[in-house]
Structure 1
Amino acid sequence: MTTPGADERLREALGALAAGVRADPDAYRRASSGWRRRYRRRRLVLAILAAVVFAAADAVGLWALSQADPNTHVIFSDPVPRPAVPEQVDRIGQP
């Protein structure tokens, strides 16, 4: 258990220590400007990284498209079914 005198001495010692501390008036402004600078730098790096990834994906896509042979890569190769007689229609109304 603590004695009442020890509590009082501890309070006086901590008070004297706190009285000896001098706060820098510009400390918060300097710290805040550092935080904002790092935040802007992080956002700029992220924007540049996103642009580089986008440009690389575009470049790879364009390279892949330019390497394709237009004669062998057909999307719709099934023949289109046509009616035997062009005037004959087997449904009525909008398609």
Structure 2
Amino acid sequence: MNPTELVHLKAKECRQLSQFCDLSWKVRNSTLALNRELDEINLQLEVMCDVMSNWSNVFSNIRAIDNHLEVTAEPKEPMTLVMLPLKTDPAEEAVANQS
């Protein structure tokens, strides 16, 4: 192989290596971006799990209170519904009484 062919071969290898390095950096940057997105998703999932756990505790406490009230409740008379009159403006009431 003459020196000119050797130089062309080495130049081709350098271009290929440069392209490989460029692709490697693109893959690295994409991987870092993907990892950041996954970290954000994991954080959101942790928050959602905490919220669900808190709601579960709230419902458990409500059930415990409800069960306690059922056990300790004394029999009472049935509740009656009392309808209270709506509050009205005194001026409107005076006009209504004149009619």
Structure 2-normalised TM-score? 0.47
Higher share in helix: 2
Larger RCO: 1 or 2 (CA < 8 Å, sep 6+): 1
